[in-house]
Structure 1
């Protein structure tokens, strides 16, 4: 089939393009051409700007594709432009959204029919921590209004794997590799759950090949923190609690991807993938995700917000607190 990917040269988009090419499909990639990762042999590269209105989409005019996979839609303005143009040019529209659309993120588990945030207004263009979820809600609505049953909405939780430049998930395999005492919390009470970008990409191919319709959470295996670090052979872990972290002045956003299960966002690490698995989602072993991420990240020397100095400071504070209470 002929596939159009809106955005597709970095991380998630790149994996999606590679998955379609590997499955034998022809892929056209529509980007601004500014990413340093534009080397996708076998794909056609179309240049444009989603924020440029009709002129920005000129490269798409007069063409038809069997499906469009939208990886780079964040604002209603962008989605109105792309769906308005492509409604008569593609047979199916696959939109990559996010679990951040869910309004009650403390639910266990989070399912596709859970309440969503109120949609952002069509004139909102600034993507922030507060507007991101509502913007994606409105983008989903625009896709559904334009394509009806001929659309698929994918809602990934935190995406991991090779190519992850976000400085979130890679922190952990990189931290284990560095050695020394590792600060971690919620050993047996809390969980981590991510979706490997390659699993998301393969499901996008399945969604197109099988002409799926509807909304699907993209979530991987749910793994306890002790198990997650043990499978990577972390030798020296200082386990603490979310309460102790708070007393030490550590925000949960500071320790990458850690969310207490009973916290306001605990459900983000308990996202149901039942619907997607029934439709063909296959999952990479969590250890393979960690190892492959480390292999990609090792030569890059990523600087993380939770620095070795900050970790040592918190470990000292926790050690002093333990000494006072013993």
Structure 2
């Protein structure tokens, strides 16, 4: 099976790339070549920028693939370019959407592909993903374009300390803050339900979709079946770091009033309980079972960071922001 990944070296896609190679897939990665150290041995690379349609078309001229996966399409404009590039040149096109596209707030806390609507008034990122899905399904219905949609939820691996409040650029900041005994913000009362998925587990479900004709015209989420409260998640991160975290609970409304940019990630995602019914992916890919509990997966992550001290930098601006929010909340002052 000849497969093209657009991207292929990100947090989720690198785990899929690795497993696909182990399964004997003839894998090509199309990207700008900025992360060659994450390309699995034996995969072939095609240098190019998918955001430059003319140059991408020239770089991909003469190629055809059994499967094309776009890991880095975020807007309808990106999908229009993909349709121009790959219409008639692949037997399956997989779009990476997001589980944050599901209804917010949920009418029912258990999420299924067939019953949970796609609607997110809080996050433009999610609305763009929904628009991409709608465009692709319209093309499938009109012309038979062979699309499959995959919706990951919060998926982590070696290089991410997953939390609702952390520095994106320096994720070790959260662990260091815990080890220093500083207060750690948890949104709400910490009792809403959430699902963390290790990238190696996600990969098992995803690889089973590659080249599978029954997946055409369908959408799937791929997550763990383990359900945790946010308090349990932060406590597991602390345990992996060898400390008992000092948790401070602050309402999502207060956090968003203090920093409006948090609205999408909280009300549009992590503040809403998310429990996924994975029956659909399991029916199509019976070998898919998530086997990495969060307590084990986060220990692997912390160990990886400690083995790579160059990645253990702190985000001082983020730390200062956490301190300001906590101080404002403790004083009972309304944020400006």
The answer, yes or no, to whether TM exceeds 0.5 is: yes
What displacement does 1:265 show?
Answer: 5.8
Structure 2 alignment gaps of length 5 or more:
none
Q: Deviations over 1:190-234 (max 9, x none)?
A: 233232222222222111154441111233322123333444526
Aligned counterpart in structure 2 of residue 288 of structure 1, from 296, 314, 335: 296
Counterpart for residue 158 of structure 1: 154
What displacement does 1:271 show?
Answer: 4.0
CA distance in 2, matches of 1:80, 1:306: 38
- Determine if the alignment matches structure 1 residue 223 to structure 2 residue 228: yes
What displacement does 1:48 show?
Answer: 2.2
What displacement does 1:312 show?
Answer: 5.1
Aligned counterpart in structure 1 of residue 312 of structure 2, from 301, 312, 315: 301
CA distance in 2, matches of 1:155, 1:182: 33
Distance 1:243 1:31, change over 3 A: closer
Maintained 8 Å contact 2:176/2:314 = no
Aligned counterpart in structure 2 of residue 190 of structure 1, from 192, 205, 209: 192
Maintained 8 Å contact 2:173/2:312 = no
CA distance in 2, matches of 1:8, 1:89: 19
Q: Deviations over 1:146-195 (max 9, x none)?
A: 44484321111222112339945945872476252542435662233232
Q: Deviations over 1:77-113 (max 9, x none)?
A: 3222223332322111111111232343444233324
Structure 1 alignment gaps of length 5 or more:
120-128, 322-326
What displacement does 1:287 show?
Answer: 1.6
Counterpart for residue 205 of structure 1: 207
CA distance in 2, matches of 1:17, 1:248: 37
Maintained 8 Å contact 2:193/2:272 = no
How many residues in Structure 1 have an aligned counterpart in Structure 2?
Answer: 308
Q: CA RMSD in A?
A: 3.8
- Determine if the alignment matches structure 1 residue 275 to structure 2 residue 280: yes
CA distance in 2, matches of 1:248, 1:49: 35
How does the TM-score come out when normalised to structure 1? 0.76
Aligned counterpart in structure 2 of residue 134 of structure 1, from 127, 150, 161: 127
Counterpart for residue 123 of structure 1: none
